[in-house]
Structure 1
Amino acid sequence: MKYTLYSIFVFVCLSSFFPSLLKGQDKNRHYVRTRLMTKDDGSSFRETITYYNSFGLNDEIREIGASPQGNDLQTFVGYDGAFRKVSESLPRPVGNTNFYNDSNPESYTVYEHSELNRVRESYGPGQTWRENGKSVKYTYLYNTKTGDDHCYCLSAKDVGEDIKVEVKSYDANEVSILRTTDEDGNVTDQFTDHEGKLILTRQKANGIPHDTYIVYDDHGRKRVVLPPLAADALGGYSTFMCSQVEEVQLYGYLYYYDERDRCIKKKLPGCEPIYYVYDRCNYLVLKQDGNDREAGRWQSFQYDRLGRQVIWGFINQNRPHADWIRICKNQNLSIYFRGASYGSENYGYTPVHRISHLCTPLIINYYDNYEYTTIFNEFIGFLNRPGYYSSFFASSLTSRDKLTGQVVALLNDPSKRDYIAYYYDQRGREVQSTMNSAFGFRNYTFTNYDFTGQPVSVRKEHTSIYRDTPPASVDDVDHILTYEYEYDHAGRLSKLYQTYDNDAKILVAKYEYDEVGRLEKKLTHNETATSTYKYNVRGWPTEINELGMTEKIYYNEDLPQKATPLYNGNIACFSNSIDNNYTSCFNYDGLNRLISTRQYKPDGSEIFTPEDFTYDKMGNLLTYYRVYFDFYPRYMNKLTIKYHGNQIQKAADDYRSVNYYSLRYPDAVNRDVEYFYDSNGNLVKNLDNMIQRIKYNIINLPEVVAFSDGNLLTFYYMADGRKVRDAYGSYPAGTSTPLDDIVNNTDPYISGTNDWCEDYYYGSGKLRRVTFPEGHISLYNNSKGPLMQYVAKDHVGSIRGYWEPGDTSLGKSPYPSYYPSGILDNKVDPYHPFALGGKEFMSTNNLDEYFFGARTMYAIMNRFNQMDPLCEDYYSVSPYAYCNNNPVNNVDFDGRDWYKIQNNHGEWQYIYNDKVHSQEELDKVIKNGTYLGKTYMEDGAYYSLFGSQMAANSFEGVIYQKIDEAIMKEANAIQAGINNFGSENIGSPATDFSISGLNYKDTKYFGVDSHRNSYLINYENSSSGVYRIVGEKSAMKAYMENWVGDKDMPKHIGGWQSGEKMYHIRFLNKTGYDIIHLQYSRQDASVLLRKYENLFKK
């Protein structure tokens, strides 16, 4: 590391005397040049030059030769006389000032006329927005005692096992309000108290406020969250006990803590409490939700000494919560791998007292080495394939700190397991994985990379269980699928080749980009079909031309008749040639929820196929009217829904369609209560759809569905969430056998199965489909052999048709068709069950549900049947709502960047990607993913802003959470243009860096001395770091600093500062004391900055 820093320093010095060494940059300006080497000999690289003006302000970024034609891309930044950033242009090719065909291809910021540097308006790129005054507006207010800006003053405290909430009203001017009005006039008010805590978020729809309150206790801990329908009840109380108020029980979120500020009990809306138990090191070791309690079990988590989860399973012992707390709280329950000779004791790990011998493991993780392969004979060792990495050694240091193996149980029968091994090259990249599956399938994946880490070839081998003879060896495989990737000089994918078994290699797709890197053209199947794409100045798609399909998307420009312009990103209307070029127009409420759709012919006359939606304040669907035209207008659905909390109680359809192929609401019964839910909020009975019982597994996925007519569906999942098989059959209706016995053992009633094994789908024991990135290989017609079928998709990724090489007429009948809202208007061809956004449509026995990987959605209502696992990120929205009731845009509104996914190696894991920022973006690159967030916390683990994982309640985990919070606040302020470093009168409030547990003798952080004023820390590979306690809680509120070192050092984004030798990040309180000071080498700072820009740079 010292050598690296020395080399960089010498280069900077020499450059002053030998300017001929510097090519491509303006030698008369201050600059920093960054090169990313793309070849190991340094002969090829990607170069970026950042220019600074005389005041050290970054005023231009130039990506050298980055465009597809090899032109430089320029981004300009403008400042006012107070050195505030007022404009930032979109990237454009050098010399092409009119690339976007728009007179305002830049964002623009307007500040208040004050010394507070607060933003008044923020314009995004686009002349249409500028000339119509369509900006995001910020207003800074204070609360009033009564009226529209009134705010309740709420406080919480424990009273026995309950929480007591005191209700008062703030006096005028006690609470700050940041009012944000988007481009279409939708208003969001955020109320913060004098400590900077968010206490109320208020949105309005049709002038009606939708309030979400957060209630804290005296320790500043979040105790109660009251979403809109719970908050509406506040006016009737001066104090209340949470257990005695129905609205709080049905809609509220409740949190209970121990003396170390660890959440030991949590209650979600309409659910039974979840209990948590921690050990002395703050690791979550036991968890029990409502269904666990009914089953008499606890979920168990075991960690190694580095805080990595090594075993997750369950123990069948219903010991009381208080007993487990007493047993575990003073014990260090971390374990370590002791070797294969101890495999029978705890699968090679040291045992955990009172837990390990009772635990049924569901996932076992192994790290660092491959000694575990001798514990289980089912593991497949490293395999050699010509042309792929073959220098693996079991003792290689390349696997240190890496996940090297997993044993993943089948939840339906934990004695059946997947055995997965991962192998790495000398740079720590996964080059091979082998899986021996629970049902006997085998999958091997081999990967080659280029110097930058991009895959250049992937070979996937598959062995079936339905072959005539067993495989003679591990090398005896049935199918081989090979991909080859080519990239352009900027790292953009340019060509994708595929070879299936012994077939000829096919150019699946050639990708061409415009000068700023947006996908412009796609040539598929040896360039025999062409797709083109167009965008507006903001990069929003405006036209998709697939083979046989043209979709035009409108926002606010060139609108067809009857359309109303929208400026905040919502789609105003679109047309699709498959739908006879009818224009579908959309209306939204103030919360951006879809409330109606209308269709028009090109001449402006209306087609009678409207949809209308109404919601309660939580976003639960109250009414849904859907009409279709069959010679004359007829209702498809005229649905009215009643709720108990967020859960459906009864639904009635005033019109009954008799068309089997339509997605009609069945409405089989008429009772006061037709829907029933379990203790975790999962739907267990839907009498209208003749569903008599749904049995769920430990991760809240439906395992068995029993219908009242005797039909039976069984779904098989691995413990990491992968669906691997479904089965169908029937049981004798009216049998004397209890239904519980039937759903707990469906084997005697199964008559057929379907299997999923990565890219391979088997129906009734025969290979039916093999998926690839642009479509699938169909094997339904065995007389033709494997037949490639390419799909045409609309803007949300839904299939609108498909075509075959040599027969390029789109839309093999039948093909899926949709209502404007995106709801299917007929049942999908069973050959194409993944039509809507890549989600599997399950229509057997009129189940009519989509499988999203983490839960299922009832297609007729566009509503989930289970609670959102991430509902705590969306307090104001019903945990059952789909996409915040905006399926037209398919946008996940909080821009999450952690996701959990079933990847190509059969692994369900938490993954970090700094280039994926929404569920929409995730759905475009991979199926069955659940998008989590920029940061995420679950089951005692914290997933950080830049991709690290650690125990949430460890000292390291708390430090990471504090720093992440401060960086996100600052980044959001910079994006909005409202940052003013070192001042509390800003849009980005200070971060409280005080950490309870360091200021008293019995520290809660194991191994951390509580009698110190400073602590050495690490954050994202910092070369050094220190955390300082400089006073009481008020003195520990700090901001991210914009300058470090001497004032003539060049300024960079968000606090990263380029000095001669080191980069710094500092967090200072109001008096200028460092609370946290981090130092980085140039290389590590560059890596961190690239991640930062991918996350936050617009």
Structure 2
Amino acid sequence: MALGKTIVENKWMKYDHAGRLTKVELAYSGAVNKTRTTITEMLYDELGQLETKKLTKAGRNLDYKYNIRGWLTQMNAYRQSGGSGRGNDEFGFALNYQSGATTFGGEDQFNGNIGSMEWWSKVSGVSNHRQAYGYTYDALNRISKADFKTYSSGWSDASGYDVTGITYDLNGNIMTLNRYDKGNHIDQLGYGYNGNQLRYVNDARDDNKGFKELSSNSLEYSYDANGNMTRDDNKKISDIDYNLLNLPEFVEKKDAADKVRNLAYAYDASGVKLENRLPDSKKLQYCANFVYENGSLKYILNDEGKLNVGDGSNTYQFFVKDHLGNIRLSVRESGEVEELNHYYPFGMRMNMADSKTDADQKYLYNGKELQDETDWLDYGWRMYDPAIARWHCIDNLAEKYISLSPYHYAGNNPIKNIDIDGNEFTSRAWVWVQKLLNQVNNRVTDMSADLEEKSMRLSSGKTKKGKNLTDKQKDKLKGKINKLKGKINKYVDVINEISELGASDQMYDVESGGTSANANGETTYDNATGNIVMSIFSNSNNPLATFAHEAKHAYQFETGAVSFSYLTGEGSSLYDISDEIEAFKRGQLFGANTNANINEKWVRLKGYTGLPSGPIDINTPTGNVLNPSETYLQAINRITRLLKSKGRNPVQVIKQ
């Protein structure tokens, strides 16, 4: 399928009453024909947590379990007798936090770190094994050891894939790291630095597995003035040229036999990768989720995998992921397992006998694309080398984390954290997010218990004292049950919205302190950093409710209901009274204005007199707008459509 031929992709998405995605369907017409197909279906529990994901076409169900804190504890069966109805699971895992880790050589964790991970893979003719990692961390929550175990009649260290002796300098740069393969010591790495920039990596083990040391120089790596790596002697890379966005444009490289294997990349003005030019006249071209090879369509990416076109099959391939988004299993729509992957901490693939590789499947650790010739992983804004567990370029937000090396991966805790696009994995906003979610979990737990008790009484038809319920009592009980369900759904909305903000490419920040005579907080746009900043003022008598209010505005920005001015940072043309009504009602859930009847009149009495009633958003810029011109509204939609067409940043708003 060549470039220039028209392909139409149609996507249908279905949501439940709480706005949660429940079904995705795809169809293609034109140069590629594929009838309307259900890609995935999702079921949620009463807390709004994903309970089951159905990869419908492949006939696979992914079942999830959580602890009382809402932390993921299990996906599918993680042992042969893993549970009723799970006999066809080819991959499953369990995460242990405060108990169970010592069984696998790890340490129980009481601060949210993962103490151990047990997994089971069952692929006909390839694998039927239980395996586990037990994790140990230092005092700064950085991983220091991963003890591998395998199960036969009991847990043992046989054929181990341990990672040991991980140490760090005062900036968080890795100093030493050891890896094992089938019990053989394959990597004994020692790192040398000039500040935070890498000078050399020495491997005391002469093994062609793992990290490959092709140089013994005292200076093997070089950097430019922006902190971008320009040379890597261990990969025989003599020069890397970068564009104005600090993205690699040209890589001058040789293979082990000194044959020239140069690479080149092309991007659009916003940094979205358009082309990867490889040796032997091979080109990969990227047009949103359509990927071409030498001008012919190779595959079309979707949320759960891809549609293979280049091999002539026109069949879907589905990805089964673990808690970090790592591709552990890929399955054809026929049910055939194409790939089974296992990973060391920090992302290097294990050379395990029961692995199964698919040379055409390049999306691996964190779901990121493996780069031919270099074995880098492309995270969008930076390239990552899992063999040495370091980035090639500095974190764009490095000034916010002066205690950490700008080249570290995921805070050196790759068991719990991920770097979504190579920019950041956390911020001070997460302190407030955690407070809010703890409140939500506590309240929903209490209400769910109350709901269960009332539902059981209604089902049994008995009062607490064992007497028969009258019709009037039943109606009253039904009303209480419906009220509880409605309130639980409101808290579930909080979880869903916070999750969307956490997964966004847009940076959200929180500032505490300062005062205001007429507000408890505010949400603004910082033109210097590009961040949306939620401010919690010291005069707020309920800071958590204030944060809930401002987080609602952040979500409104994320979904295109609110815009901000580039000049002032304050709410702009999409900001209206309906946005404030939603935000005040969100704060009310957490104890603010508890007795108020929050409506337009109430909000205007709070001082919001100059705002239009709304609702106004980027999709429907209509309503009580203050004298807008039609031309201006058309411009909003035109610019919005332009921004929506960019593949990397899904934020559907304009910052005016």
Same fold (TM over 0.5): yes
Pairing 1:586–2:126 present: no
1:588-603 residue pairs with structure 2 within 5 A?
A: 588-602=137-151, 603=154
Q: 1:1052 to 1:798 in 2, by over 3 A?
A: closer
- Secondary structure of the 2:402 match is coil
Counting matched residue pairs gives 477
Pairing 1:643–2:193 present: yes
Pairing 1:537–2:68 present: yes
- Secondary structure of the 2:411 match is helix
Q: 1:809 to 1:653 in 2, by over 3 A?
A: same
1:413-424 residue pairs with structure 2 within 5 A?
A: none
Choose from 680, 699, 707 the match for 2:226: 680
Q: Is the 8 A contact 2:284 2:293 kept in 1?
A: yes
Q: Is the 8 A contact 1:895 1:917 kept in 2?
A: no
Write the deviation string for residues 763-797 of structure 1: whole angstroms up to 9, x where unpaired.
Answer: 23322111111111113422xx3011111111111
Measured in 2, the distance between the counterparts of 1:969 and 1:503 equals: 59
Q: Is the 8 A contact 1:1051 1:1058 kept in 2?
A: no
Q: 1:514 to 1:966 in 2, by over 3 A?
A: closer
The CA deviation at 1:500 is: 2.3
What is the one-letter code of the residue matched to 1:965?
Answer: S
Write the deviation string for residues 332-354 of structure 1: whole angstroms up to 9, x where unpaired.
Answer: xxxxxxxxxxxxxxxxxxxxxxx
Choose from 848, 852, 859 the match for 2:375: 848
1:795 is aligned to: 323
Q: 1:916 to 1:668 in 2, by over 3 A?
A: farther
Q: Is the 8 A contact 1:641 1:650 kept in 2?
A: yes
Q: Is the 8 A contact 2:542 2:592 kept in 1?
A: no
Q: 1:573 to 1:558 in 2, by over 3 A?
A: closer
Q: Which moved more, 1:866-875 or 1:538-547?
A: 538-547
- Secondary structure of the 2:171 match is coil
What is the one-letter code of the residue matched to 1:840?
Answer: E
Q: Is the 8 A contact 2:522 2:535 kept in 1?
A: no
1:378 is aligned to: none
The CA deviation at 1:864 is: 0.4
Q: Which moved more, 1:514-523 or 1:965-974?
A: 965-974
The CA deviation at 1:687 is: 1.5
1:839 is aligned to: 368
Q: Is the 8 A contact 1:536 1:542 kept in 2?
A: yes
1:497 is aligned to: 25
Measured in 1, the distance between the counterparts of 2:198 and 2:70 equals: 39
What is the one-letter code of the residue matched to 2:308?
Answer: S
1:135-150 residue pairs with structure 2 within 5 A?
A: none
1:932 is aligned to: 507
Measured in 1, the distance between the counterparts of 2:146 and 2:594 equals: 47
Pairing 1:555–2:97 present: yes
Pairing 1:777–2:314 present: no
Choose from 869, 875, 886 the match for 2:413: 886
The structure with more radius of gyration: 1
Measured in 2, the distance between the counterparts of 1:1057 and 1:1019 equals: 31
2:112 is aligned to: 569
Q: Is the 8 A contact 1:585 1:599 kept in 2?
A: yes
The CA deviation at 1:1021 is: 4.2
Measured in 2, the distance between the counterparts of 1:692 and 1:581 equals: 43
Q: Is the 8 A contact 1:1022 1:1079 kept in 2?
A: no
1:1016-1055 residue pairs with structure 2 within 5 A?
A: 1021=575, 1053=591
Q: Is the 8 A contact 1:588 1:595 kept in 2?
A: yes
The CA deviation at 1:703 is: 0.6
The CA deviation at 1:947 is: 7.2
Measured in 2, the distance between the counterparts of 1:669 and 1:809 equals: 42
1:506 is aligned to: 37
The CA deviation at 1:831 is: 1.4
Measured in 2, the distance between the counterparts of 1:973 and 1:914 equals: 18
Measured in 2, the distance between the counterparts of 1:1058 and 1:494 equals: 34
1:869 is aligned to: 396
Write the deviation string for residues 931-967 of structure 1: whole angstroms up to 9, x where unpaired.
Answer: 633369xxxxxxxx987647559xxx99x96xx4335
The CA deviation at 1:968 is: 9.4
Write the deviation string for residues 137-193 of structure 1: whole angstroms up to 9, x where unpaired.
Answer: xxxxxxxxxxxxxxxxxxxxxxxxxxxxxxxxxxxxxxxxxxxxxxxxxxxxxxxxx
Measured in 1, the distance between the counterparts of 2:539 and 2:70 equals: 25
The CA deviation at 1:816 is: 2.7
2:9 is aligned to: 481
Q: Is the 8 A contact 1:842 1:848 kept in 2?
A: yes
Write the deviation string for residues 880-919 of structure 1: whole angstroms up to 9, x where unpaired.
Answer: 011111111125232669xxxxxxxxxxxxxxx9966589
Write the deviation string for residues 285-310 of structure 1: whole angstroms up to 9, x where unpaired.
Answer: xxxxxxxxxxxxxxxxxxxxxxxxxx
1:599-618 residue pairs with structure 2 within 5 A?
A: 599-602=148-151, 603-607=154-158, 608-612=160-164, 613-618=166-171
What is the one-letter code of the residue matched to 1:555?
Answer: Y
What is the one-letter code of the residue matched to 2:298?
Answer: R
What is the one-letter code of the residue matched to 1:839?
Answer: K
2:637 is aligned to: none
Q: 1:719 to 1:1052 in 2, by over 3 A?
A: same
The CA deviation at 1:514 is: 1.3
Q: 1:1057 to 1:972 in 2, by over 3 A?
A: closer
Q: Is the 8 A contact 1:695 1:703 kept in 2?
A: yes
Measured in 1, the distance between the counterparts of 2:266 and 2:616 equals: 45
1:177-576 residue pairs with structure 2 within 5 A?
A: 466=3, 477-501=5-29, 502-526=33-57, 528-545=59-76, 547-557=89-99, 561-562=103-104, 563-576=106-119
What is the one-letter code of the residue matched to 2:155?
Answer: G
The CA deviation at 1:527 is: 7.9
- Secondary structure of the 1:818 match is coil
The CA deviation at 1:720 is: 0.3
Write the deviation string for residues 532-577 of structure 1: whole angstroms up to 9, x where unpaired.
Answer: 1111111111111284111111112465724432122111111111
Measured in 1, the distance between the counterparts of 2:251 and 2:219 equals: 19
Q: 1:914 to 1:1083 in 2, by over 3 A?
A: farther
- Secondary structure of the 1:753 match is strand
The CA deviation at 1:584 is: 0.7
Q: Is the 8 A contact 1:778 1:786 kept in 2?
A: yes
Identity %: 25
Write the deviation string for residues 845-873 of structure 1: whole angstroms up to 9, x where unpaired.
Answer: xx121111111111211210001101122
Measured in 2, the distance between the counterparts of 1:971 and 1:853 equals: 42
Q: 1:1017 to 1:717 in 2, by over 3 A?
A: closer
Unaligned runs of 5+ residues in structure 1 are 1-463, 468-476, 730-749, 898-912, 923-928, 937-944, 978-1006, 1009-1015, 1024-1041, 1043-1049, 1067-1076, 1088-1098
Choose from 802, 814, 819 the match for 2:344: 819
Q: Is the 8 A contact 2:9 2:26 kept in 1?
A: yes
1:756-767 residue pairs with structure 2 within 5 A?
A: 756-767=286-297
What is the one-letter code of the residue matched to 2:95?
Answer: I
The CA deviation at 1:699 is: 0.5
Measured in 1, the distance between the counterparts of 2:336 and 2:168 equals: 41
Q: Is the 8 A contact 1:656 1:665 kept in 2?
A: no
RMSD over equivalenced CA pairs, Å: 4.1
Choose from 246, 252, 261 the match for 1:700: 246
Q: 1:559 to 1:1080 in 2, by over 3 A?
A: farther
Measured in 1, the distance between the counterparts of 2:132 and 2:546 equals: 35
Measured in 1, the distance between the counterparts of 2:368 and 2:539 equals: 35
- Secondary structure of the 1:515 match is coil
Measured in 1, the distance between the counterparts of 2:605 and 2:406 equals: 38
1:830 is aligned to: 359
Q: 1:917 to 1:675 in 2, by over 3 A?
A: farther
What is the one-letter code of the residue matched to 2:3?
Answer: Y
Q: Is the 8 A contact 1:1062 1:1081 kept in 2?
A: no
2:235 is aligned to: 689
The CA deviation at 1:752 is: 2.2
The CA deviation at 1:618 is: 1.1
What is the one-letter code of the residue matched to 2:22?
Answer: S
